[in-house]
């Protein structure tokens, strides 16, 4: 087996038994990056020098017996999380040369655990997109079909994990940006409860929706990473001071006594036939494993989620991106006057999708429209949250597709924003409600002119129900082989 295809727990056993050193493992991953990067363009920055130094330090820790399950294991961090001394671009010209003076909390905590960071993952600019086509630097390709998108906005980290450019990665999820690319790339993508993982040092897109989470090769690895990134951080005002369990203890291979609901609003007209067939087979497997399944669950306000999301998220983005004025940091244009400089800085520094969302947000928050749009969207958000609250009184988890289709072709939707936004229709409700979800591999569906492409099974849980969704995900994974399939470049 190639070292770059190892999971965290497999790598940990080899490192612990001294069969492999962290330097050897890191060199194998860096060699894989050199081989694969030209085809997939998953990374914005490769940190070879610092990675090898971290690997040497990890080997010293292992020899001294002072190590964790993550010590010496190579990772990719999405390029919207601050990394001290290493540029953090958000895949935008605006921050192309920005080097943060500090680490994001999650990066700091992973470094404490012995992480080896091999690079920063490509993404849609400022995390605004569902396909990774909105990066200012390169379009990332789906490794299962290089002519297709990997999903977004965490497309780079997803592809990095899928092809072995990292053993695991961290992504961020504002409306599905961890789960949707995980589904498209046949990996595991985990979105924790809002406030469960610190956002300090995450470059903000929509502050009431953003959440950091792991992207891994299997469910065990997601639980392991969550053990190190979850927890209270006083530097993040939205961080929740709530006990953190050992997530690996919820990895039980049967579902006896668990109640699963299938929301009918997630099986919609226009959904790809192959995706629905794969989903029904996966749900039947969950029943086989002992779960009670109910197909008659309703989340009636789901149909308004897309409209509510695309008023709330751009409004918050507009407020957050106002800081890029060419004065404090980032790209700066020398204009004839202060106003000219600011206007040209933003014109040249931001890409078209970011500008589109700034304009949407400005309109939604403007005088005369605030009540009609933004305020109404927030009221709808409350109704969506209530739907989930009612469902979780009756069910332990809800199960649905991660996306209505398999990965689409590069260029297919980039000129049609509404079609692009619809690709997040099954994921963004969780962000509006602030609850947790995971996407796991559950099969392959035929694309029209392509080989079979991955389908993701989305398992949704209430706030702080991470253990329940991990249990369901783990039981399904152990009973199937889908997560073991790797793309051939």
Catalytic positions: 78, 153, 177
**Tokens matching residue 243:** 């006990």
Strands (E), 363-408: 397-401
Distance CA 467, CA 245 (A): 8
Q: Which helix (H) or strand (E) holds 146?
A: none
Q: Which residue has the tokens 């509404």?
A: 418
Maximum C-alpha span of the chain: 70
Residue 13: Cβ-neighbour burial (10 angstroms; 0-12, 13-18, 19+): middle
- Helices (H) and strands (E) counted in the chain, each on its own, are 15, 11
**Tokens matching residue 45:** 């920055």
Distance CA 202, CA 173 (A): 11
Distance CA 58, CA 53 (A): 9
**Tokens matching residue 31:** 């060699």
Query: Smallest Cα–Cα separation from 214: which of 143, 126, 283, 154?
Result: 154
Please tell me whether the peptide bond between 225 and the residue prior to it is cis, using omega within 30 degrees of 0.
Answer: no
Question: Regarding beta strands 259-263 and 397-401, do their DSSP bridges make them parallel or antiparallel, or are they unpaired?
Answer: parallel
Strands (E), 168-291: 168-173, 188-191, 211-216, 259-263
Distance CA 296, CA 259 (A): 13
Note the helical H segments in 45-154: 48-64, 105-112
Distance CA 287, CA 471 (A): 14
**Tokens matching residue 69:** 């399950």
Query: Smallest Cα–Cα separation from 443: which of 186, 221, 163?
Result: 186
**Tokens matching residue 470:** 């991990």
Which own/partner contact pairs does 328-335 have at CB distance under 8 Å and 24+ positions apart? 329/98, 330/94, 330/95, 330/98, 331/93, 331/94, 331/95, 331/96, 331/97
Q: CA torsion sign, 105 to 459 to 422 to 449?
A: positive
- Other C-beta atoms lying within 10 Å of the C-beta of residue 2: 11
DSSP 203: P
Note the helical H segments in 395-465: 417-422, 428-433
Question: Quick check: 168 and 190 in contact, CB under 8 A?
Answer: no
Backbone angles phi, psi at 199, to 5 degrees: -100, 5
């Amino acid at each position: 087996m190639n070292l770059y295809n190892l999971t965290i727990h497999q790598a940990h056993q080899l490192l612990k038994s001294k069969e492999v050193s962290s330097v050897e493992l890191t060199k194998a991953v860096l060699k894989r990056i050199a081989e694969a990067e030209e085809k997939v363009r998953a990374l914005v920055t490769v940190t070879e020098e610092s990675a090898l130094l971290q690997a040497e330090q990890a080997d010293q820790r292992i020899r001294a017996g002072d190590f964790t399950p993550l010590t010496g294991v190579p990772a990719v961090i999405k390029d919207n999380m601050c990394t001290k001394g290493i540029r953090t671009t958000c895949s935008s010209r605006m921050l192309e040369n920005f080097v943060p003076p500090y680490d994001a909390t999650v990066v700091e905590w992973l470094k404490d655990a012995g992480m080896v960071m091999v690079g920063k993952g490509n993404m849609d600019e400022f995390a605004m997109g569902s396909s990774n086509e909105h990066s200012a630097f390169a379009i990332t390709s789906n490794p299962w079909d290089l002519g297709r998108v990997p999903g977004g906005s965490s497309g780079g980290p997803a592809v990095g994990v899928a092809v072995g450019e990292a053993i695991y990665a961290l992504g961020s999820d504002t409306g599905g940006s961890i789960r949707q690319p995980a589904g498209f790339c046949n990996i595991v993508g985990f979105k924790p409860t809002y406030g469960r993982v610190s956002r300090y040092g995450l470059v903000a897109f929509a502050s009431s929706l953003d959440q950091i989470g792991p992207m891994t090769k299997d469910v065990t690895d997601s639980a392991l990473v969550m053990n190190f990134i979850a927890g209270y951080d006083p530097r993040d005002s939205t961080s929740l001071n709530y006990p953190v369990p050992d997530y690996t203890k919820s990895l039980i291979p049967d579902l006896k006594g668990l109640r699963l609901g299938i929301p009918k609003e997630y099986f919609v007209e226009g959904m790809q036939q192959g995706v629905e067939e794969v989903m029904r087979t996966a749900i039947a497997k969950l029943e086989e494993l002992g779960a009670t399944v109910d197909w008659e669950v309703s989340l009636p306000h789901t149909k308004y989620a897309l409209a509510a999301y695309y008023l709330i998220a751009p409004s918050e983005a507009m407020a957050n991106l106002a800081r890029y004025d060419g004065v404090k940091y980032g790209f700066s244009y020398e204009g004839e006057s202060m106003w000219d400089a600011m206007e040209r800085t933003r014109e040249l520094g931001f890409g078209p999708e970011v500008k589109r969302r700034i304009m949407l947000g400005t309109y939604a928050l403007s005088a005369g429209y605030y009540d009609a749009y933004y305020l109404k969207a927030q009221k709808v958000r409350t109704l969506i949250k209530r739907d989930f609250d009612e469902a979780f009184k009756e069910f332990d988890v809800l199960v649905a597709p991660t996306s209505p289709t398999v990965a689409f072709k590069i260029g297919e939707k980039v000129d049609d924003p509404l079609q692009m936004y619809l690709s997040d229709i099954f994921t963004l409700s969780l962000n509006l409600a602030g609850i947790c979800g995971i996407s796991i591999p559950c099969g392959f569906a035929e694309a029209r002119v392509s080989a079979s492409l991955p389908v993701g099974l989305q398992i949704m849980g209430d706030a702080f129900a991470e253990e329940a969704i991990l249990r369901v995900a783990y039981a399904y994974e152990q009973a199937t082989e889908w997560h073991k399939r790797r793309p051939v470049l």
